[in-house]
Structure 1
């Protein structure tokens, strides 16, 4: 689905609702205003709902925005704003749920005409906020990574790879929009936002005041509980991410890699370093006229064809071993059933060090060719100490008990974490009793694989059979009976 298809569907729904409001309920004061109420309301309800399915996805997207904002503001006159973003990151899950619930509530209020003037201003301010986010993201495409966003004089030509946040997250993982598209979408929504403020008295109102209040309260309670169910108590009810049961990760990764290899260079986009003039030269012509475009004068950017298939996060699936070397090819070769435990974050903090004295015994050969003690040396070893979240540790101990049964039954069991200090991982394994192989991967990849920390996936060869939130993990006996046939 594209944004244009989605807008068409929403417009059809809005037209039907407007017809019912006008001809059946006879509540329309102005046809255009009523249509815009239904259109914007339905759009907000839908966009909020697909995010409510996966609140953690929205939270992770917010973390990317906050990190970018912090680095942008801390080296400017507005540096006093920078400390706000780590604070928001600390409570990002709750902030995500709040924004999702507010967006859906606002959509419902628009449709039923609740608190018209408040709703009009709330819609305007929220769209303005979204426009700022998407506009900032889009405009970072003109700013190279080593230049601060507010150094406007150093902006260059638009380069998509300059953007650290590559999509707005407006529709979660259901529909990925490029920042430019998202920005113009929000600019478009500013038109009805202004109309609502100017013509608030012409907005229709459905039902009685008590009924509207009950609908609003039910929306808040219902959507809040639904959000909690999709990340605190279970994984998302619908999986829009590439890692889902039934997907052969090995084959999909190979297909995406092949598609990227077959991408062709169509042209070169050349930017004059002095005048900033941009020209685009077809690839074949560029090769023939290479001497006309010296590197001292131009900056080069390739224009490539689109891959034959969409490239997903599966393409970034790469695992490293404890020594830092890639073990992705070894992982592809695992046969049979295997359990992947994913934990992008280990909830612990370094709390100090402990020094202990150990003895090293040196031997030498005796007269009768046997080893005898030559000397005994002592040395000090310093270990890092960690304090762990006991609630988190308890989850792992339950997990270890079930995975031990799986290993004893012949299944391969391993964990994947972010690239923590090996000492921290060893300390965590000692604390939880987890004695299986532990690999490393990028934390964004791990967040994409499963929305649970820890979460468990069952594979058969390279195909995902099933995945579970830690709270919903069945006993190994149940997993074996239902899935390992």
Structure 2
């Protein structure tokens, strides 16, 4: 685990940094709680009640809005304006993370579980030791790692099409559908996607569905909805990272993300063409 994930890509804290952050906040809250009797309001009760109500509405309304739409602030490596190719480049000072494999073996005589490394683990001494488990221990984190390390797209016959997608000088449209079975199954949405595909491909723009689902699920989806979309395969975790919508739409040109859309806000091709394809 490289960071705690508390604040997503906005602020990456290592696990121990997150731990000490929590300790500091705990101490601060304890001081406030212990001295709560000495805290006096700085305004009238009506103003305080109004502020509380506004805060309550915001704390409920904002998460609901962000859940049903794309986040208003996007700090990911696939956000609009980001170039995927640039975010995949390795700096000259880049060093990969280093891990070491450790083995836990259980002593058959006294039940003790002991840790060994690759040089001294007792794999031949089966009379005294039995393998218990294996650990991958982080020796040091990656240094100056690229923001994107795992973006790979393959055609359904297994050939890599990553470079052709990222180097397409024309506008291209990517439907991100990390799991077909869990995707929004709505005929109105499917109709919009069909119309979008027809108009986009009619003007020689790539329209492709990226999914981690297998061939059987893809064929079942095509048959159920009577669609002729082009499908390609990518890792599900990567697809979830790219856009938080299943399905979601990305407009990309020469590796640069122009705009993203949640399926609740799926646009028409003409609107996209007028606003973003210049």
1:244 matched to 2:79: yes
Secondary structure of the corresponding residue to residue 149 of structure 2: helix
2:165 is matched with 331
Q: Does structure 2 conserve the Cα–Cα contact (< 8 Å) formed by 1:343 and 1:446? A: yes
* C-alpha distance in 1 between matches for 2:5 and 2:201: 39
C-alpha separation in 2, matches of 1:243 and 1:455: 13
Consecutive unaligned residues of structure 1, counting only runs of 5 or more, are 1-162, 279-292, 349-387
Q: Which has the larger radius of gyration?
A: 1
More helix by share: 1
Counterpart in the other structure of 1:416: 210
1:230 correspondence with 2:62:
no
404 and 219 in structure 1: CA distance in 2 versus 1, 3 angstrom threshold: same
Residue of structure 2 equivalent to 1:88: none
Number of equivalenced pairs: 260
Supply the distance in 2 between the matched residues of 1:218 and 1:300 (Cα, whole angstroms).
48
SS in 1 for 2:250: strand
1:397 alignment partner in structure 2? 191
Correspondences of 1:73-472 after superposition (within 5 Å): 163=1, 166-232=2-68, 234-253=69-88, 255-256=89-90, 262-263=94-95, 295-296=119-120, 303-304=139-140, 306-307=142-143, 309-312=144-147, 314-347=148-181, 390=185, 392-418=186-212, 420-472=213-265
Distance 1:300 1:436, change over 3 A: closer
Higher relative contact order at CA 8 Å, sep ≥6: structure 1 or structure 2?
Answer: 2
Q: Calculate the aligned-residue CA RMSD, in Å.
A: 3.5
Q: Distance in 2 between matches of 1:201 and 1:332?
A: 61
Residue aligning to 2:127? none
Report the TM-score when normalising by structure 2. Answer: 0.77
1:227 match: secondary structure: helix
How far the C-alpha of 1:249 sits from its partner, in A, is 1.0
How big is the shift at 1:406? 0.6
CA–CA distance in 2 between the matches of 1:241 and 1:217? 32
2:276 maps to: 483
| Cα contact 2:78–2:84 (8 A) shared by 1 | yes
Cα pair distance change 1:187/1:427, threshold 3 Å: same
**Superimposed CA distance per residue, residues 259-278 of structure 1 (whole angstroms, 9 cap, x where no aligned partner):** 58x4279999999x999899
CA distance in 1, matches of 2:230, 2:150: 21
In structure 2, distance between residues paired with 1:294 and 1:227: 48
Q: 1:332 to 1:428 in 2, by over 3 A?
A: same
TM-score normalised by length of structure 1: 0.47
8 Å Cα contact 2:153/2:160 also seen in 1: yes
Task: Provide the C-alpha distance between the structure 1 equivalents of 2:184 and 2:10, rounded to a whole number of angstroms.
Answer: 34
Q: Which residue of 1 aligns with 2:266?
A: 473
1: distance between equivalents of 2:118 and 2:240? 44
Give the Å deviation of 1:318: 1.4
